[in-house]
Amino acid sequence: MSTVGVERGGDPARSSTHRDELVGLVALIAAGVLITAVGMRLLTGPLATLAVAGLLAIVATLIVMAIAGGPQARRRLAPYGLLKPGILWLALFYLAPLFALARESLSTLPSRFAVEAEFDWNTGNYAQAFSDFGPQFTRGFVYAAVATALCIAIGYPLAYVIAFRGGRWRNLLLGLVVVPFFTSYLIRTIAWSSLLADSGPIVGAIDGLRLTSVFEALQIMDNDRLINTPAAVIGGLTYNFLPFMILPIYVSLEKINPALVDAAKDLYSPAPSAFRRIVLPLSLPGVFAGTLLTFIPAAGDFINAEYLGNPNTTMIGNSIQDQFLVQNDRPLAAAMSFVLMAVITVAVFFYTKFLGTEELS
Amino acid sequence: MTSSDRPRPPFDRRQFLLRSSALGAAGLSLPAILAACGGDDDEDASTGAAGGTSETTGATSAGTGGASTPGGGGGDELFFENWPEYIDPTEDGLTGTADRFIEASGVQLRYTDAFNDNNEYFALIQPQLGTGGTIEPDIIAPTSWLAGRLISLGWVDKLPVDQVPNATNLRADLRQPSWDPTGEYSLPWQTGITGIAYNLDATGRELASVEELFDPAFRGRIGMLSEMRDTIGLIMLGLGADPASITSFDDAAAAFEQLVAAKADGQIRAFTGNDYLDDLSTGNFAACIGWSGDVVQLARDNPAVRFVIPEEGGMSWADTMVMPKGAVNRDAAAKWMDYVYDPVQAAQITAWVQFVSPVTGVQEEVAKLDAELAESPLLFPDEETLSRLHSFANLEEDVEAEFDAAFSDIIGA
Amino acid sequence: MSAPTSGRGQIARWGLNAYAALGLIYLFVPIAWIVWFSFNQPAGRYNIVWQRFTLDNWTDPFANSDLTGAFVESLKIAAISTSIATVLGSLIAVALSRYSFRGASGLNLFLVLPLTTPEIVLGSSLATLFFDWDVSRGFTTVIIAHVMFQVSFVALTVRARVRGFDWTLELAAQDLGATPMRTFWKITFPLILPGILAAALLSFALSIDDFIITLFNAGSLSTFPLYINGSFRVQFPPQANVLATMVLVASVGLLMVGVVRSSRRNASDR
């Protein structure tokens, strides 16, 4: 990341730099806070109008400072200006909704079909989320974890081959990895429901090769059936999130200098050893990113369970969707969403620790 | 190069700053815009097709003098949102009821079939109707229990019954039903029977009782409905209980237990809405709980598919027309209801959907169209059949909540 | 990279290549199904079981008017939201990569957060906000929702592509007498444009395909995925396969163009 126009010179310039940057940053944060508060309806009525006025004042001040302060000030303030629209959008439509959801999770519906819930620090929703939906939470995480592991198993070698052996076909191959992504997620899942159907080609092949009992023993098939099983759901999850694993791994592998690998091969003569000592650790950031991008959405998914599963394979995503869109219990759905996020955060935390120690050894 | 030691502004930050601040300011006015949007959202308060196949035809082209008058109760437009596959379409040279109505009355009928599930639809209309707003359709056709709920919540208007002379054709047993005691808020669209549908090739034998749905031989190939009252009602009948006399959750506790056990054993492959028909005909379901009209239609193409009212009894239900609060086209709605309650027209509908018509005199009319159909006990149940049908009791709100919670636990949501 | 010369090494090498090839094939199996079944004449209302080959679906791809309408809605939404998100995201990317300033890492983290939040939480939280604000859910709310998750995506993608950009090129241009506007349009913009376009293309795809966030915020509006999901209880028409294949072909085409152009540029650079 290159910076233009590095400051040189005496103290006055530096202190004004810091002052300008500070002002810019504070202005950005203040604007974000104000807009979030308005979005959450923490500030309503006249207060909200005041907040919006304050927001405009901040923007105006920045502009004035930029114009009046000369080229140095403009340069310091520019990034904050560039960031403002996007960050404010995110503040209003990402942060504020999260806070609104949090408030909803601590609310109670006055009657079953009321539209507005009353905020009253009701933690009962969280208790209910834990007690009533334990199995769905567990299944969500287990299925997502297995799918992520499978994604690594399938995706890492593919990324490796593209990165190190792709040559001039790299971009094309990467493009091919991304292309399936351009068809509808739903239709891809429906495709699997057809491919895995009882009368479909895959079950036919398994039966033909007389592998049915093997698959049933492995718990992949159930009652001569491949669809409407946990395996089908996990398979769907794996397939749908595979590109999210391949791309980050590829990016981190691509950065590795091939000369480094060659040198390693000379040092640690069996090639797998070179891989283990040099390539693998360097690619871990990519694996980490890929895991996040795969595990987190998979844990909250409900489409694969809906199309490929059975009543005993529902995931927490199905429950949240049902509570929100069918049962109308929005406070409960909100609480469940936060529990989902909390557990994901904990899981990611432990995963980071795990990866960290790997690197040390 | 003289300027190498003096920092140069690469280019005009001011431009950038100004531009981005303008954008930012524009972004700030969003809350104001949203607030404005929120206040008068009537025109946006639509509940159109969230996934249905529209069966309206060129209502604009069939304009036999139908120049629409602006607004008011005398409007020449009508928006009827119904379940899928619930009216005879225009195809194979036959004109569907909707189109015949448009020609005969000049009303620009907009008929959509996006009503897929009672609970989902309720969640969709709740934000508007629950806060005193309106929804777009003039007539909707929820199942009777949902109609009952809407009536008790005050979210529906009274029907313009005085403008519907044919309302007298309503079957006697459907007058002033439990979900609409005054009879002023609803007119049934179709009624039907819930029983057991099975694929003879898949089961290898004929089925006759609810208990056979729990036969371990069919493990993993049984389907049940996501409609709580149909599924639990039938199971209760199988256990010898009467769904019509439910007063509390305990009355159905045994049925719930049996269902929980069956699900845990993997007996049930899926809980479905209308989508059991495909699985039934391919044999994915050996047997399932199903609705008479659907299965009778299917059985015509696939003789292996059968429908039977279990020996312990079957459930009867009704989908009924109600007018959401604030619906404007009352006159047009009255014309429509009058039209479909004419036995001649009702017969056309019944001949296609093959459910039980709520209109008297239909059987004779259907005999003119299809003699065999007129003899079907599933379309025109005789006294004996009717005596074996039960309805589900009208539940109090808190009891209903218990039932719904327990059931949604089971169907795995 | 030096290739192994030993026999075992060769086998291992080919084994790995074959395994990777299998992975790539795996990615395309459902795609093949989608294209293949667009030529199917289903017996009933579900295009799930192969009956026989027909070109009817392709001669009349818009037969299902509700499906087509939903598809058009998806395209409209994607076009509008991608435009907005590309502008916002690119501004952020330029800010983050061109300047170093206080708070950059914190903002970086903030930018990544939406991508690490499960879609179901993003969708339900926005729906809750709209509930609170009494805004009825429909076209506008869907666009707002899409822009929200696209902005982060665009910003991070453009920033990654812009990473190696040499901003001193601008200084050089200025020294040669170019005005700031001219510098921007003639030098900077064309060079960062490929990155912006790539990000725009990918986020367009994200928008067309989005289901979960849209489900919570569409109200009664029908988009392509929503329509397919909602009507799946009664049908799955082959026209859905046709439309999906069209999108696929269009994106492959664009991809080809991009690949060809970049390889041509690489060749000419040398």
Give the whole-angstrom CA distance, residue C191 versus residue C134: 44
pLDDT band at B48 (very low <50, low <70, confident <90, very high): very low
What is the CATH T-level fold of the domain B41-191+318-377, as seen in this structure? D-Maltodextrin-Binding Protein; domain 2 (3.40.190)
Give the pair of three-digit tokens for residue B186: 């609803």
**Cross-chain residue pair A310–B17, CB shorter than 8 Å:** no
Q: Considering CB atoms only, which of C20, C148, C262 is closest to A90?
A: C148
pLDDT tens figures, A200-235: 888 888 888 888 888 887 778 877 788 888 999 999
* Domain carrying residue A331: 124-355
How many domains, chain A? 2
Residues of A in contact with C14 (CB under 8 A): none
Whether A104 is covered by a domain: the verdict is no
Residues of B in contact with A62 (CB under 8 A): 17, 21
**Cross-chain residue pair A165–C17, CB shorter than 8 Å:** yes
B51 close to C (CB below 8 A) = yes
A46 close to B (CB below 8 A) = no
How many domains, chain C? 1
Kindly give, in sequence order, each residue whose CB lies less than 8 Å from that of residue B292, ignoring residues fewer than 6 positions away: B192, B193, B194, B195, B307, B354, B355, B356, B378, B379
Chains that touch C (3 or more CB pairs under 8 A): A, B
**Cross-chain residue pair B130–A314, CB shorter than 8 Å:** no
Whether A241 is covered by a domain: the verdict is yes
The domain locations on chain B are 41-191+318-377, 192-316+393-412
Q: What is the pLDDT of residue B398?
A: 87
Give the pair of three-digit tokens for residue C167: 């901003």
User: Stretch B85-105: mean pLDDT, rounded?
Assistant: 88
User: Stretch B387-396: mean pLDDT, rounded?
Assistant: 89
Q: Kind of pairing, strands B222-225 and B268-272?
A: parallel
Chains that touch A (3 or more CB pairs under 8 A): B, C
Kindly give, in sequence order, each residue whose CB lies less than 8 Å from that of residue B145, ignoring residues fewer than 6 positions away: B118, B179, B229, B392, B394, B395
Amino acid at B237: L
Residue in the block written with tokens 């509390």: B248
**Which of C132, C161, C184 should be substituted to probe chain A, the one whose Cβ sees the most A Cβ atoms within 10 Å?**
C132
Query: Which residues of chain C from 192 to 211 reach within 8 Å of chain A, CB to CB?
Result: 202, 205, 208-209, 211
Residues of A in contact with B8 (CB under 8 A): 5
Q: For A276, which DSSP code? A: I
Q: Considering CB atoms only, which of B13, B131, B268 is closest to A311?
A: B268
- CA proximity to A282, closest of A254, A308, A324: A254
pLDDT, averaged in runs of 10, over chain C (270 residues): 63 87 92 91 80 86 86 94 92 80 79 86 88 84 93 86 73 74 74 83 87 88 88 84 89 78 62
Q: What is the pLDDT of residue B14?
A: 38
**CB-based contact A56:A38 (threshold 8 Å):** no
Residues A40 and A178 in one domain: no
Q: Which residues pair with B78 in a beta bridge?
A: B109
Please state the three-class secondary structure of B284-316 as a single string: CCCEEEEEHHHHHHHHHHCCCEEEECCCCCEEE
User: Stretch B335-348: mean pLDDT, rounded?
Assistant: 94
| End-to-end alpha carbon distance in chain C | 21
Q: Considering CB atoms only, which of A52, A81, A82 is closest to B28?
A: A52
Q: Kind of pairing, strands B287-291 and B187-199?
A: antiparallel
Q: Considering CB atoms only, which of A94, A182, A262 is closest to C148?
A: A94
Chain B, nearest residue to A133 by Cα: B409
Compute the nearest-CA separation of A135 from chain C (Å).
18
Whether C184 is covered by a domain: the verdict is yes
Give the whole-angstrom CA distance, residue A61 versus residue A77: 11
Residues A278 and A321 in one domain: yes
Domain holding A184: CATH number? Answer: 1.10.3720.10
Residues A55 and A183 in one domain: no
Residues A141 and A209 in one domain: yes
Amino acid at A80: Y
- CA proximity to B411, closest of B269, B250, B245, B240: B269
- Per residue in B244-277, is it b (16+ CB within 10 Å) or e — as a string? eebeebebbeebbebbeebbeebbbbbbbbbbbb
**Cross-chain residue pair B28–A74, CB shorter than 8 Å:** no
pLDDT band at B17 (very low <50, low <70, confident <90, very high): very low
Domain holding C176: CATH number? Answer: 1.10.3720.10
**CB-based contact B81:B124 (threshold 8 Å):** no
**Cross-chain residue pair B263–A113, CB shorter than 8 Å:** no
Q: For C156, which DSSP code? A: H
Compute the nearest-CA separation of C219 from chain A (Å).
10
Q: What is the pLDDT of residue A339?
A: 92
Q: Which residues of chain A have pLDDT under 50?
A: 1-10, 358-361
Chain A, nearest residue to C48 by Cα: A194
* Domain carrying residue C159: 65-236
A241: helix, coil or strand? helix
B116 close to C (CB below 8 A) = yes
Q: Which one is the CATH code of B192-316+393-412: 3.40.50.970, 3.40.190.10, 3.40.50.10490, 3.20.20.10? A: 3.40.190.10
- Per residue in C230-256, is it b (16+ CB within 10 Å) or e — as a string? bbbbbbbbbbbbbbbbebbeebeebbe
Q: Considering CB atoms only, which of B3, B41, B52 is closest to C136?
A: B41
**CB-based contact A76:C101 (threshold 8 Å):** yes
Q: Which residues pair with B156 in a beta bridge?
A: B324
Boundary-marking domain end, from A59, A78, A96: A96
**Cross-chain residue pair B24–A75, CB shorter than 8 Å:** no
**Cross-chain residue pair B278–C135, CB shorter than 8 Å:** no
**Cross-chain residue pair C233–B1, CB shorter than 8 Å:** no
Its pTM stands at 0.82
DSSP letters, A197-216, are STTSHHHHHHHHTT-HHHHH
Whether A317 is covered by a domain: the verdict is yes
